C-alpha cells in the first residue's frame, strides 16, 4: 500500500493525499464501493505510476478520499476532457510534471459537496474548475484546497464548463496579447480544428476579426470545413493550398494577417510566416509535427517578423489569480451570449477510458474526448 502521508497537506500535484488501495485492478474493474464512513470514502481515478504510453501506464484504481480540513473543499467531478497536454504529461515530455504516482487530467468541472469551516469563497452546489494544472481531474471525487479552485456559473453548458480553463483561455490571450488587432484585421492559424483553433475562430468573430484557417487534407475535409464556417471561420484552406501561387491573389482581397498562431511547427509554420504582413507576429503554442520552427533570414530582416511563444501555465505565473478569474468570467460572458461554444465533444464514461485515450491519440481527430463521472 502506498501512503501519501505528509504529502496530503503539501498537496503534491494530482495526488492530494489519496491512497492507492490494494484491491485496485487494471483496465476496467467493477465500480468501486463507497464506504458509509466519512473517514474512508473511496473514489475511482485514472492513475499512472510512471511515464510512458498512456494506453499502457494509465490504470483505473480505487483511491481513499482525504478528510476535509478547515480550508478544504470536497468536490464531485462531473466531467473532464483529455487534452494533448494531458497525454504529453503522461508521456513525460511536458513543461510541468507531477510527482508520481499521479492522477491524470488538468482540466474539468466539478460540483462542491462540502466545505471546511474556514472556506468562504465557495459553497455546496457551486461548480468549480481547477485554478492551475496538476490537480488530477480524471477521478470521481477529490478534496482540494479552496485556493486551488475557481467558481464558474452553473448556467453554462456542462461541456463548456469542462473545457473552459485551458483552450479558450489560450485562444483569448493569444488574440489579445501580441498584436493590437482591430475589427477587420486578419489572423491565420494552423491546427484550426483543435480545441484552441475552434475557440480562436469564435472569439475572433466576436471581436470582429477575420480568420484564415489552415487544415491538413483529409477524407472528411468538406464536412470539417462546413463545421468550422458554422463556428464563424471566414476562410478555410488546406496546407497544400496555402503553398500554391494562387494565394497571392487571395491576399489581394483579404488583408494580410498581422498575427499567426502556430500549433504544428515544421513546414506548416514556415507557410504561416510566409503569408504574414510585414512586422507581424507568429505565436507558437504547440508542436504537433515535432519539427522545429524555421524562419528565413529575409523574413526576420526585411519583413521584421516576430517569433513568440505562449504557455498558459506561464501566463498564470506572471499574473494574479484575480486576473485569471477575470479571464474566466469574460469567457463565460461569451458563452452566455452564444458566441463561444465547446469544441466538438464525445462523452465517454470513466470506466471506458481506454477507448477515450485511444481516440485522443488518433490522427485527424476532430472530437474532444470528455470523461464523465
Q: Which residues are catalytic?
A: 94
What are the Cα distances from residue 154, in Å, to 125, 194, 204, 352?
A: 9, 25, 25, 26
Q: Which residues pair with 19 in a beta bridge?
A: 64
Pull the grid cell for residue 104: 491524470
The residues, any chain, with a CB within 8 Å of residue 349's CB and separated by 6 or more, are 371, 372
CA 325 to chain centre: 16
What are the Cα distances from residue 73, in Å, to 66, 154, 222, 244?
A: 11, 17, 46, 56
Pull the grid cell for residue 219: 477524407
The residues, any chain, with a CB within 8 Å of residue 214's CB and separated by 6 or more, are 188, 189, 190, 191, 192, 237, 238, 239, 242, 268, 271, 272
Separation between Cα atoms, residue 9 and residue 12, nearest integer Å: 8
Separation between Cα atoms, residue 156 and residue 41, nearest integer Å: 30
Amino acid at each position: 500500500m502506498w501512503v501519501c502521508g505528509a504529502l496530503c497537506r503539501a498537496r503534491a500535484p494530482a495526488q492530494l493525499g489519496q491512497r492507492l488501495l490494494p484491491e485496485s485492478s487494471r483496465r476496467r474493474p467493477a465500480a468501486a464501493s463507497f464506504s458509509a464512513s466519512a473517514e474512508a470514502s473511496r473514489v475511482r481515478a485514472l492513475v499512472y505510476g510512471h511515464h510512458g504510453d498512456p494506453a499502457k501506464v494509465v490504470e483505473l484504481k480505487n483511491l481513499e478520499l482525504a478528510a476535509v480540513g478547515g480550508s478544504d473543499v470536497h468536490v464531485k467531478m462531473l466531467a473532464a476532457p483529455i487534452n494533448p497536454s494531458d497525454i504529453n504529461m503522461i508521456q513525460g515530455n511536458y513543461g510541468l510534471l507531477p510527482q508520481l504516482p499521479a492522477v491524470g487530467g488538468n482540466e474539468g468541472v466539478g460540483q462542491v459537496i462540502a466545505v471546511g469551516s474556514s472556506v468562504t469563497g465557495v459553497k455546496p452546489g457551486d461548480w468549480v474548475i481547477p485554478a492551475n494544472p496538476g490537480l488530477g481531474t480524471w477521478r470521481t471525487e477529490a478534496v482540494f484546497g479552496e485556493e486551488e479552485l475557481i467558481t464558474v456559473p452553473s448556467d453554462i453548458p456542462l461541456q463548456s464548463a469542462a473545457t473552459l480553463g485551458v483552450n479558450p483561455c489560450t485562444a483569448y490571450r493569444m488574440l489579445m496579447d501580441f498584436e493590437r488587432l482591430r475589427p477587420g484585421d486578419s489572423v491565420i492559424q494552423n491546427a484550426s480544428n483543435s480545441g484552441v483553433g475552434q475557440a480562436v475562430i469564435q472569439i475572433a468573430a466576436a471581436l470582429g476579426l477575420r480568420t484564415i484557417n489552415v487544415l491538413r487534407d483529409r477524407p472528411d475535409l468538406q464536412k470539417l470545413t462546413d463545421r468550422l464556417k458554422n463556428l464563424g471561420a471566414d476562410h478555410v484552406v488546406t496546407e497544400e493550398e496555402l503553398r500554391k501561387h494562387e494565394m497571392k491573389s487571395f491576399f489581394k482581397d483579404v488583408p494580410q494577417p498581422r498575427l499567426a498562431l502556430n500549433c504544428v511547427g515544421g513546414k506548416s509554420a514556415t507557410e504561416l510566416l510566409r503569408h504574414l504582413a510585414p512586422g507581424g507576429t507568429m505565436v507558437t503554442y504547440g508542436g504537433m509535427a515535432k519539427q522545429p520552427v524555421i524562419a528565413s533570414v529575409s523574413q526576420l530582416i526585411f519583413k521584421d517578423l516576430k517569433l513568440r511563444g505562449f504557455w498558459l501555465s506561464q501566463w498564470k505565473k506572471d499574473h494574479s489569480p484575480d486576473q485569471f478569474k477575470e479571464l474566466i468570467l469574460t469567457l463565460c460572458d461569451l458563452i452566455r451570449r452564444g458566441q463561444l461554444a465547446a469544441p466538438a465533444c464525445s462523452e465517454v464514461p470513466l470506466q471506458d477510458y481506454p477507448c477515450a485515450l485511444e481516440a485522443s491519440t488518433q490522427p485527424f481527430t476532430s472530437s474532444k474526448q470528455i470523461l464523465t463521472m
